[in-house]
Amino acid sequence: MEKQKKCIGYVRVSTDQQDLTRQKALINEYCALNDLHLIKIIGDKESGANSQRKGYKELQQINKDVADVVIMTEISRLSREDNILKPLSLINEILEEKIDIVFLENNVYNVRTFKGGENLNLTQIIILSCELEASAKERKKIVGRMLSGRKNKFKEFDSMCIGRVPFGYTRKENPNFVINKTPKSFLVRNDNAETVSNIFNWIINGMTLKEIALKLQSLGIKTNLGDDFSTATVATIIHNPIYKGDWTFSGETIEGDAIVSKEVWEKAKLALKENRILKINRNVNFNPLKGLFKCPCGHSMYIVKNRTKGNPNHRQYRCAVKKNKYDQTVCNNGGADADTILQAVWNAVLCSNNGKEFKERNNSQIQIINEEIENIESNIRSNTEKIDSLNKELSIISVNISKVENPNLINMMVQQFETVENQIKNYKALNEDLAKEKLIKERTKEQLSQKDILENDIPDEEKAVIYQRLISKIVYYSEVMHRGFLVIDFKNGVRIIYMILTSGTKKIIQLPSGWKFEDRRVIVEFMKLDGFQMVKYNKYYGTFELENEFPDIVRENNILNN
């Protein structure tokens, strides 16, 4: 009597929600019909693309002492890997152990058997390779269908919960959940939504991330994970677009339950940078011009203590590139006496802010900004109309696709659908950029409109706020040690040029507004008689030439004498 063969079955599904019963039943039925002794069935509930799954590894350890036959319902149960050589190699290793492999093809009467101990021939290798390749491609299709289904549900059902739950919201189970038809859960705001709103308002009102984190800690407010708030956690909230209602999944964005308006969200992002500049630890090197004062090389100018015999607390502005040991660039711009620079900048603010010309330039710049804002709003309206028109076009294409049966026409319409969809995304992105630009211009307009009553003896911290509001950029161009030009550009377009001399007697000379500046030299325009007519020409001056040729201007415009 022939000895009954020992058999091991292998079954697999992709997720815990799926059932192995059908595959196990087929294997049991086959063994009963063919008088095989089924020792056990190895099962996996993981993707066929994962070669590290437990059952798959157990299959790799099977030898002739354990079983005579390995049974699977179909080859896709073994693998859906992109690398088809791995499962092909496993099949060959099992056969080399003189173990038969049986694929039931989902039917116990129509099976395919590979005899153990026999090498795969070329035809078998080609067929198995094609089947494994098709299995891998089918996995991608399945993933695509699942993703598409989730995307469609995401667009169809407001507030569908996907991924990690952000602070201020709670995952709420859907009591009417129907598998493959409705979402399992929704995202709803909770009591912490008020804290989120407060965080955005605190940023807009001048608080830094660190100050907000400490405030939340003092209030005993915890994150969703029960941790104390850190600076990084607050930053994550400020930068998360879900709080302005932009809920995104796999490239699709819907209008979700917004805790703050889009305008508040953008204002907070804009204020965040200003707050970082203004909130500095008060010490001897406190820099009221942080973020504004630049070297011609593009790096920032920072304050260092530079002790001298006559002044142990002497401070100097230096280019930041000299501080960075990892930056191989050498900046040749000389330093500048910090107190002299700060005195010059504050004088420029005092003189300009109280001057008639400065106020006129403010009003003129505000008018220009108003026109620019109107133009931006017009562009946003135009883009919105285009988006509405394209959405109608999408609807028409969708209806037409459902009516057509010709595969070629369907593919053509799908391509057309995707093209229109991309156009909509591009117009939406343009509107987002325009909205940000509008917000920046409104902020500049607000700064220019603000009226100040300035006094000479206010603290540096208050001066720093005024500098940020009025000045766009300050650059110091050194000519030689202790000599150079300070160029101050205001947000309303006014430019003030100072000649700084700090060797011996300190001088800060304000140069006439008609003089221009270029390449570390002042440009002075002259009218000269050429034949019978006056011709305009330019002449370039450094600090030494200006002192020699314009001694009266240097003496009369030294702000330290006034």
What are 24-38's pLDDT values in tens digits?
A: 889 899 998 888 999
**Same domain? 376 vs 272:** no
**Same domain? 245 vs 375:** no
DSSP 235-254: HHHHH-GGGGTEEEETTEEE
| 207 part of a folded domain | yes
Summarised one tens digit per residue, pLDDT across range 329-340 is 567 787 888 889
> From CA 229, how far away is CA 237, in angstroms rounded?
11
pLDDT for the residue 488: 93
**Same domain? 208 vs 249:** yes
User: What percentage of the chain has pLDDT greater than the value 70?
Assistant: 82
| 158 part of a folded domain | no
pLDDT for the residue 467: 87
| 152 part of a folded domain | no
| 159 part of a folded domain | no
Taking alpha carbons only, the member of 339, 319, 346 closest to residue 467 is 346
Task: Look up the CATH number of the domain holding residue 250.
Answer: 3.90.1750.20
| 153 part of a folded domain | no
pLDDT for the residue 47: 78
**Same domain? 435 vs 349:** yes
Q: Which helix (H) or strand (E) holds 8?
A: strand 6-13
**Same domain? 239 vs 327:** no
**Residue 115 in tokens:** 């005899």
| 532 part of a folded domain | yes
Taking alpha carbons only, the member of 546, 402, 427, 409 closest to residue 479 is 546
Residue 291 pLDDT class (50, 70, 90 cuts): confident
User: What percentage of the chain has pLDDT greater than the value 90?
Assistant: 9
Pairing of strands 495-501, 507-510: antiparallel
Residue 53 pLDDT class (50, 70, 90 cuts): confident
pLDDT for the residue 248: 62
**Which of 223-227, 338-342, 419-423, 542-546 has the lowest average pLDDT?**
223-227
Summarised one tens digit per residue, pLDDT across range 535-556 is 777 888 888 888 888 888 888 8
Pairing of strands 100-103, 69-72: parallel
> From CA 14, how far away is CA 48, in angstroms rounded?
7
Q: Which of 256, 278, 300 is the last residue of a domain?
A: 278
Q: Which of 232, 260, 278 is the last residue of a domain?
A: 278
> From CA 561, how far away is CA 546, in angstroms rounded?
18
pLDDT for the residue 494: 86
Query: Taking every pair of C-alpha atoms in the chain, what is the biggest distance, in angstroms?
Result: 132
Q: Which whole-number Å values give the CA distances from 197 to 167, 183, 215, 265, in the listed order?
A: 11, 27, 14, 10
**Same domain? 306 vs 248:** no
Burial 423-438 (b: 16+ CB within 10 A, else e): ebeebeebbeebeeeb
**Same domain? 562 vs 453:** yes
**Same domain? 120 vs 174:** no
What mean pLDDT is reported for the chain? 80
> From CA 273, how far away is CA 203, in angstroms rounded?
10
Q: Can you tell me the mean pLDDT for 245-255?
A: 62
Pairing of strands 37-45, 246-249: unpaired
User: Could you tell me how many helices (H) and strands (E) the chain has, helices first?
Assistant: 15, 20
Q: At residue 402, does pLDDT exceed 90?
A: no
Cβ–Cβ under 8 Å, residues 493 and 361: yes
| Ordered alpha helix ranges (H), 404-509 | 407-449, 460-470
Cβ–Cβ under 8 Å, residues 143 and 250: no
**Which of 18-22, 135-139, 176-180, 309-313 has the lowest average pLDDT?**
176-180
**Same domain? 451 vs 543:** yes
pLDDT for the residue 182: 58
Summarised one tens digit per residue, pLDDT across range 65-115 is 889 999 998 888 888 887 888 888 888 888 988 999 999 877 778 788 899
Instruction: Give the HSE-up count for residue 413: Cα atoms under 13 Å, Cβ half-sphere.
Output: 18
pLDDT for the residue 379: 92
**Which of 53-62, 282-291, 451-460 has the lowest average pLDDT?**
451-460
Q: Which helix (H) or strand (E) holds 317?
A: strand 315-319
Q: Can you tell me the mean pLDDT for 125-149?
A: 68
Taking alpha carbons only, the member of 191, 203, 188, 273 closest to residue 237 is 203
| 157 part of a folded domain | no
Write the single-letter amino acid at 57: K
**Residue 469 in tokens:** 């509001």
**Same domain? 266 vs 389:** no
Task: Look up the CATH number of the domain holding residue 118.
Answer: 3.40.50.1390
> From CA 411, how far away is CA 400, in angstroms rounded?
12
pLDDT for the residue 149: 45
| 369 part of a folded domain | yes
User: Tokens 């209602």 — which residue?
Assistant: 245
Instruction: Give the HSE-up count for residue 222: Cα atoms under 13 Å, Cβ half-sphere.
Output: 4
Summarised one tens digit per residue, pLDDT across range 351-382 is 777 667 677 777 888 888 889 999 999 999 99
pLDDT for the residue 378: 92
Three-class SS of residue 152? Answer: helix
Q: Which of 245, 263, 278 is the last residue of a domain?
A: 278
- For residue 391, what are the domain limits? 281-562
Summarised one tens digit per residue, pLDDT across range 521-530 is 888 887 776 6
pLDDT for the residue 183: 60
If one counts the domains in the chain, the total is: 3
Q: Can you tell me the mean pLDDT for 180-195?
A: 74
**Residue 49 in tokens:** 């693309």
pLDDT for the residue 148: 47
Answering whether pTM is above 0.85, one says: no
**Same domain? 83 vs 217:** no
Q: Which of 6-15, 271-280, 327-336 has the highest mean pLDDT?
A: 6-15
**Same domain? 555 vs 409:** yes
Burial 291-315 (b: 16+ CB within 10 A, else e): bbbbbbeebbbbbeebeeeeeeeeb
**Residue 347 in tokens:** 């004088």
